[in-house]
């Protein structure tokens, strides 16, 4: 039995997961997500890690490998760090073995990752700096419209006449939205419009990675936004890409899961190397 923990420090939220891994038997013992808001991310990460261990009646010493991902290279007590695309790829395969692409959409970034059946990163594309297609932006708009995060998806799905936002800049897009409100465009249509604009950009990213087969698993916080998932499906259809778009209730944990799983892999590899060293 190898117990590992994966900690994903994002720009909006921290995700952590505790795993027990035995060969192909991968079991999740617990998971946590917490918004960062005003706190110090690394400190928060440490708290979450300890809470999670506490829930499982464990201490740091019981864990074989503490793996970080996201913006946590400097987290002191970690055993090792993997980069986000590596972990999201592995996490995605764990959540959905059929996935051959990962679309990770978080608070600030969007990434399309092409993977193989083992979770190896084959190609990727990231949104450039200028991108209004992010969770943060949606959150701002939702607040402006007086809508809760959970309502974004359902409302967007009700849209009958969505209007796309122009531009690549969140600031200018915000003004666009204000203009729409002033023209009495409904919140549904505005949200759907944003989702569609985001989707068309994300599909572009996916296309650039040349996905051809299998499913796309959406990961990151926005995978929970059913409106965006629906818009993605529409955009894929419109662009005639015959790949299904999936989401998973645990999508937001993909990075943390992947980190924990890689942690176990690495732990075993290191153990083997040590054995070899001891023998020789």
Ligand X SMILES: Nc1ncnc2c1ncn2[C@@H]1O[C@H](COP(=O)(O)OP(=O)(O)O)[C@@H](O)[C@H]1O
201 binds other proteins (CB under 8 A): no
Distance of alpha carbon 243 from alpha carbon 235, whole angstroms: 11
194 binds other proteins (CB under 8 A): no
**For the purposes of burial, counting CB atoms within 10 Å of the CB of 63, is it exposed (0-12), middle (13-18) or buried (19 or more)?**
buried
Q: Are 248 and 276 in contact (CB under 8 A)?
A: no
> Whose CB is nearest to ligand X?
221
Among 130, 244, 274, 275, binds other proteins (CB under 8 A): 130
Q: How far is the CB of 261 from ligand X (least distance, A)?
A: 18
Distance of alpha carbon 38 from alpha carbon 86, whole angstroms: 28
Q: How far is the CB of 167 from ligand SF4 (least distance, A)?
A: 8
Q: Are 262 and 86 in contact (CB under 8 A)?
A: yes
Residue 252 contact partner, candidates ligand SF4, ligand X, other proteins, none, CB within 5 to 8 A by sort of partner: ligand X
204 binds other proteins (CB under 8 A): yes
Among 91, 133, 162, 221, binds ligand X (CB under 6 A): 221
171 binds ligand SF4 (CB under 6 A): yes
Q: What are phi and psi of 38, to 5 degrees?
A: -100, 0
Which of helix, strand or coil describes residue 107? coil
> How many residues of this chain bind ligand SF4 (CB under 6 A)?
5
Number of H helices and E strands in the chain, helices first, is: 8, 10
Which residues are CB-neighbours of 188 under 8 A, at least 6 positions away? 155, 156, 158, 159, 160, 162
Tell me whether residue 57 or residue 213 sits nearer to other proteins (CB atom). 213
Distance of alpha carbon 280 from alpha carbon 277, whole angstroms: 5
What is the CB neighbour count within 10 angstroms for residue 231? 29
Among 5, 16, 45, 147, binds other proteins (CB under 8 A): 147
Residues that bind ligand SF4 (CB under 6 A): 129-130, 169-171
Residues that bind other proteins (CB under 8 A): 11, 38, 40-42, 71, 73-74, 81-86, 108-109, 120-121, 124, 126, 129-132, 134, 136-137, 143-149, 169-172, 174-175, 178-179, 181-182, 204, 207-208, 262, 265
């Amino acid at each position: 039995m190898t117990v590992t923990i994966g900690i994903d420090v994002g720009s909006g939220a921290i995700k952590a997961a505790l795993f027990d891994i035995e060969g192909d038997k991968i079991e999740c013992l617990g998971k946590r997500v917490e918004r960062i808001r005003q706190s110090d991310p690394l400190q928060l990460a440490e708290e979450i890690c300890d809470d999670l261990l506490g829930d499982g009646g464990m201490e740091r010493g019981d864990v074989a490998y503490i793996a970080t991902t996201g913006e946590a290279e400097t987290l002191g007590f970690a055993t090792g760090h993997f980069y986000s695309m590596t972990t999201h790829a592995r996490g995605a395969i764990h959540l959905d073995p059929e996935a051959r692409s990962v679309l990770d959409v978080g608070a600030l970034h969007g990434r399309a990752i092409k993977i193989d059946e083992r979770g190896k990163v084959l190609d990727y594309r990231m949104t450039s700096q200028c991108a209004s297609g992010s969770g943060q932006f949606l959150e701002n708009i939702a607040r402006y419209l007086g809508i809760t995060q959970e309502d974004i998806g359902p409302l967007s799905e009700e849209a009958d006449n969505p209007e796309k936002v122009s531009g690549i800049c969140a600031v200018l897009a915000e003004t666009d939205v204000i203009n729409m409100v002033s023209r009495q465009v409904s919140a549904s249509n505005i949200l759907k419009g944003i989702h569609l604009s985001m989707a068309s950009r994300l599909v572009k990213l996916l296309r650039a990675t040349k996905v051809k087969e299998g499913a796309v698993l959406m990961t990151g916080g926005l995978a929970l936004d059913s409106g965006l998932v629906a818009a993605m499906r529409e955009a894929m259809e419109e662009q005639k890409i015959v790949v299904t778009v999936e989401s998973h209730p645990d999508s937001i944990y993909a990075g943390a899961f992947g980190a924990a799983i890689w942690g176990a892999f690495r732990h075993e590899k290191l153990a083997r190397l040590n054995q070899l060293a001891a023998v020789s």
